[in-house]
Amino acid sequence: MNLLVGTYECKVDTKGRLPLPAGLKRQLTEGVEDGYVIKRSVFQQCLEIHPMKNWEKIMNDLSKLNRFVKKNNDFIRVFTAGVKVVELDTNGRLQISKDLVKFANIDKEVVLSTSLNMIEIWDKELYENVINVDDIDFAEMAEGIMGNLNEDE
């Protein structure tokens, strides 16, 4: 799967149907026949859409964990809680279940934010609050995380 690019604003209807913007649909054509997985994010109050091929890789990694280690078993249970397989309907929409809408506090306006090979679905207000934080020195963070990448080449 190619890396996804872009941030898009759109609206979810009262039934939880999310129309994918054309620019995003064009990027997702490769895996549309396989479907997608939608799940709760681990670190944020948002949802994640994973193309099925990527999700299978994640599940393959999880299957290597020993389920007789309680910590592993608990992690797998919570990580996969609420996971749904979804497909685009004939109108190019994804159905978001009520439990996931509630988890992400999605009202009507949402932001679809690509994050490498997945898409995050945010309530617009929550997204604005997360990206507009004053307590993070982003320049310092960028230098600390990305500043040494060329040393291995």
For the stretch 85-120, pLDDT in tens is 998 888 889 999 999 999 999 999 999 999 888 999
Beta bridge partners of 115: 118
pLDDT in tens, 16-44: 999 989 888 888 776 667 889 999 999 99
CA nearest 27: which of 48, 6, 10? 6
**Residue 140 banded pLDDT, cuts 50, 70, 90:** confident
Mean pLDDT of the chain: 89
Domains in the chain: ranges and CATH:
7-152 (3.40.1550.20)
Q: How far apart are the first and last CA of the chain?
A: 25
